[in-house]
Amino acid sequence: MISPELNFNLFTSDLSHYFKNQVKVGLFGSGVGLSVVLGFSAAYACYYLLSVAKKPILIAGGKKFHQFLRDKCPVVSETYYPTFWCWESRVQTLLRPFVTAKPWVNYRNELITAPDGGQISLDWFDNDDSASHPDQSTRPTVLLLPGLTGTSRESYILHMVQQSRDLGYRCVVFNNRGVSGEKLLTPRTYCAANTEDLEVVIEHVQRTIDKAPLMAAGVSMGGMMLANYLGRKGSEVRLKGVVVFSAGWDVFECTASLEKPLDRFLFNSYLTSCLQASVDRHRTVLEKKYDIDHVMKAKTIREFDERFTSIMFGYPSNDDYYRDASPIHKIKSVQVPMLCLNAADDVFSPNHAFPVEAVKQNPNVALLITCHGGHIGFLEGLWPRQSTYMDRVFHQFTSAVFENGSGLDDLH
């Protein structure tokens, strides 16, 4: 891989060649403009290399997990070089869906029935061409949980499926109720605090491929749901390992951050409209129990949760829901190896609410913090189309869990 330092040298060299050969007259022809451009480029490169590109911080509750990650996942010790022309948090967050490629994945869909009569959509990538694990009955499998309104077609999910395919593993994507085109059969959707559907999915997957090792990866709200599940179930969890990306650890702080003027304009209003669109698609089922017209007037995620989510899941107040949905309170109970990746500049999950102290008290949990990366961004390279820092963390940790999992035995 070409280093960012080399990219900058190539960039300035090409720029110099262009101006020398293409611009013959005027300011640039005199050499003054060229000197300004090259001077600015050099200053920007110095600022980038000194202040932007930094090694991540790895916090682990136990020495054994910490050493395992350093030995088997070198990415945790390497300098993260954000894409030099879009390293700012909001830019990374906004550009990720547009600049990263969407690899084609041929899923096999399965609808399973929940105890309340609702249906849950699972998208399987069986990877039957796996050379390293040709026996489908024992092929390592990764359960993937998308974000708030995400599905199996999100670019970050497709990238994880691609990484798994290259490793020879199988994937199954858990789509939350009503988001991936299937009908909503009961007046119930989903939330970060309620893990009942996730429990149904995990039990179903483990029954279906009972000899295959299983781990899970969750992104944003999917990561919150996964962490909440681990905290609630404790030693009952039979997953080999878990990796969580860009999770919101304290929902009160996350919501407050997204209500700041700029972030409300860029993110909050848009996500609220996405949630409302999902509700409106299933209006005929949901309006039997909820005031959908009132829900559709919500202007923020908080208002949406006050009018819909907290009521649907039976909380006395929205504050009770937010408290229960915050994984920070359940970190201490996690009993399987869990690696969490967050960017310190993520406006969805402010860094002052990261569960640093809770992680230090649990030998099963590690928190990897980059200075930049935004929310599910982690773009790197000159043109970040194929792979991100998040993809590399997923690739290395997943491989380490399945291929060197004995090193994670008895982390206490």
Alpha-carbon span 221 to 145, nearest angstrom: 8
Cβ 388 vs Cβ 100: under 8 Å: yes
Tens-place pLDDT, residues 297-322: 999 999 999 999 999 999 999 999 99
Angle between helices 389-403 and 63-72 (to 10 degrees): 110
Alpha-carbon span 223 to 238, nearest angstrom: 17
Would the CA dihedral through 69, 75, 78, 83 be positive or negative? negative
Residue 209 contacts by C-beta under 8 Å, 6 or more apart in sequence?
A: 136, 137, 139, 141, 170
Cα distances from 8 to residues 33, 96, 302, in angstroms, run: 19, 22, 43
Biggest distance spanned by C-alpha atoms of the chain: 77
Confidence (pLDDT) at 245: 98
Confidence (pLDDT) at 27: 43
Tens-place pLDDT, residues 15-67: 344 334 444 444 445 566 777 778 777 887 887 888 899 999 999 999 999 99
**Which of these, 162, 9, 98, lies nearest to 379 by C-alpha position?**
98
Confidence (pLDDT) at 410: 82
**Residue 385's pLDDT band (cuts 50, 70, 90):** confident
Alpha-carbon span 103 to 115, nearest angstrom: 34
Give yes or no for residue 6 having a pLDDT over 80. no
Q: Which among 204, 372, 375, 395 is annotated as catalytic?
A: 375
What is the pTM (predicted TM-score) of this model?
A: 0.90
Active site residue 220: yes
Q: Which among 123, 345, 346, 391 is annotated as catalytic?
A: 346
Active site residue 375: yes
Alpha-carbon span 191 to 177, nearest angstrom: 10
Tens-place pLDDT, residues 210-228: 999 999 999 999 999 999 9
The angle formed by the CA atoms of residues 53, 54 and 60, to the nearest 5 degrees, is 150
User: Half-sphere exposure of residue 288, counting CA atoms within 13 Å on the CB side?
Assistant: 9
Alpha-carbon span 294 to 303, nearest angstrom: 10
Q: For the sheet containing 108-113, what is the strand order?
A: 57-60, 365-370, 338-343, 242-245, 214-219, 141-145, 170-175, 119-125, 108-113
Give the mean pLDDT of the chain. 91
Tens-place pLDDT, residues 322-358: 999 999 999 999 999 999 999 999 999 999 999 999 9
**Residue 1's pLDDT band (cuts 50, 70, 90):** very low
Alpha-carbon span 59 to 357, nearest angstrom: 9
pLDDT-wise least confident of 10-14, 133-137, 157-161 = 10-14
Q: Which among 121, 130, 180, 220 is annotated as catalytic?
A: 220
Confidence (pLDDT) at 30: 52
Give yes or no for residue 256 having a pLDDT over 80. yes
Cβ 76 vs Cβ 368: under 8 Å: yes
Amino acid at 180: S
Cβ 349 vs Cβ 221: under 8 Å: no
Cβ 242 vs Cβ 216: under 8 Å: yes
Tens-place pLDDT, residues 72-114: 999 999 999 999 999 999 999 999 999 999 999 999 999 999 9
Active site residue 278: no
Confidence (pLDDT) at 37: 79
Percent of the chain with pLDDT over 70: 92
User: Half-sphere exposure of residue 143, counting CA atoms within 13 Å on the CB side?
Assistant: 30
Cβ 58 vs Cβ 357: under 8 Å: no
